[in-house]
Amino acid sequence: MPLRVLSVASEAVPFVKTGGLADVVGALPGAVAPHGVEITTLLPGYPSVLARLPRQRVVHEWDDLLGEPARLLAGMLGDAPLIVLDAPGLFDRPGTPYADAEGQDWGDNWRRFAALSRAAAEVACGAMLVRGKPRRFDVLHSHDWQAGLAPAYLRWAMSDSVPPMPSVMTIHNMAFQGWYGGDVFTSLGLRGEAWSIDGVEYHGGVSLLKAGLVAASAVTTVSPTYAREICAPEFGRGLEGVVAARGGAVTGILNGIDSAVWNPETDDALARQFNARSLERRTVNKRALEAEFGLDASADARGGGPLFIVISRLTWQKGMDVLLETLDHLVETGGRLAVLGSGDAGLEAGFQAAAARHPGRIAVRIGYDEDLSHRMQGGGDAILVPSRFEPCGLTQLYGLAYGCVPVVARTGGLADTVIDANPAALAAGVATGIQHGAVTRDNLAGALTTAATLYRQPEEWARMQKNGMACDFSWRVSGRAYAELYRSLIS
């Protein structure tokens, strides 16, 4: 019989995605299945999720879940079971999973995600009937602050007669901690003892992420370097002491990429599919990309620099403000840039202004477009990821797989996945990209210059592309690591 894990999160591909969390939660069931683990995923019943459930089979009901009637609907996520928390009072809303159409966070997010977490804890402990019998899971796995209260409910809300349930809390981004005023505590339905420095209390309020960090049996984050970084204030964002106190219970398991979706040999989004032996075919994709973005296509013939791409949330985390400051330098070194993203209004306007200043050299698409992101990885020369912190990062992994050389900051998962083209690595023929230090204008400009120099040495550049494409960042290794972690918790 497989080990049964209930994985709870606020997003999962292909149902709902605002960022990398969704990619990982969506891929995890397939990643661990070969290792004898069956993951059932629990998601909120947003309109986009309910619309994808072909028939609504009810498997459990609550009259009062944090004050709302709610029910669980069964479905499938690929080949794995899915359950959806249908609570219209909480989730049947327009906008994103977290905010209204104007971008304002919903004021009751604490209640919405407390309900999701409470449901997860009850279901893990056997609330749901399968073929007339309670289905108890072996491990509960929570992702990010939205599911952070689930381990806390296991610890401070279940009756004594319920056997203990092991739990895993995975941090995809420490910057989002789900902090709410202390007045919400009494509405959560946790025992009074949870209101303490060793519980959910944090600076006089409640932090949903902290709740998970203290209550879970094991804590993981999405790269080994970030697991170390979050023990320091700069990356721990106030929770570094809580992380450090968990000691060896905190580990880093690198994210994988879904190679069924991200494979240049089979990717239908591309004008021309290719592999490491047919890199010349990428030119077709590059010309298509230039046309799509209105970029000057004669640059290559004139000995120009790389066509850089950015696919990102346009935020401070991602270093987009510093990139804006280096765009004139990027153009001076012969480069061009295609940006796809959305986020802070000021940064969006900044990129649009840069595009207006440098027509044919810089072009911007504000918005979210999955297919376009594939076309960019398949046609761009290099992907820029100048993040101030990056728990793992997925776009550099997609870049590696697509021969789109990553130019990244040396932090978190970026440090763990890209081999910098320093003289030693170049001499040994093992470089896969370019790393720079602290995210400053000078460091980023230096990395852009290095990229332009290497790009003008076609053999060196092709070697980096091929090295990157030969890397295996599929879920093969990390799927096993999660399976081993789950097993270690029940033995």
Instruction: Rule CB under 6 A: choose which of 199, 391, 406, 479 binds ligand ADQ.
Output: 391
Cα–Cα distance, 280 to 276 (Å, whole number): 9
Q: Name residues contacting ligand ADQ, limited to 103-142 (CB under 6 A).
A: none
Q: How near is the Cβ of 387 to ligand ADQ at its closest, in Å? A: 8
CB of 82 to ligand ADQ, least distance (A): 19
- Lookup result for tokens 């605002």: 18
Query: Binding-site residue total for ligand ADQ (CB under 6 A)?
Result: 26
Residue 146 interacting with ligand ADQ (CB under 6 A):
no
Q: Which of residues 277-316 bind ligand ADQ (CB under 6 A)?
A: 311-313
The reply on whether position 26 binds ligand ADQ by CB under 6 A is no
Distance of CA 295 to the CA centre of its chain: 30
Q: How far is CA 397 from the centre of its chain?
A: 12
Question: Is residue 392 at the binding interface for ligand ADQ, with CB under 6 A as the rule?
Answer: yes
What's the closest the beta carbon of residue 133 comes to ligand ADQ, in angstroms?
35
* CB of 319 vs ligand ADQ, minimal distance in Å: 12
Q: Which residue's CB is nearer to ligand ADQ, number 275 or number 317? A: 317
What mask, x for binding ligand ADQ by CB under 6 A, covers residues 336 to 375?
----xxx-------------------------xxx--x--
Closest CB to ligand ADQ among residues 259, 449: 259
> Which residues from 193-222 bind ligand ADQ, rule CB under 6 A?
222
| Binding pattern for the stretch 418-457 against ligand ADQ, x by CB under 6 A and - elsewhere | ----------------------------------------
Q: Which of 24, 165, 309, 452 binds ligand ADQ (CB under 6 A)?
A: 24
User: Residue 255, interface with ligand ADQ (CB under 6 A)?
Assistant: yes
Select the residue interacting with ligand ADQ from 16, 20, 148, 331 (CB under 6 A).
Answer: 20
Residue 129: CB minimum distance to ligand ADQ, A: 33
- Interface contacts to ligand ADQ, rule CB under 6 A: 19-21, 23-24, 172-173, 222, 255, 311-313, 340-342, 368-370, 373, 390-395, 413
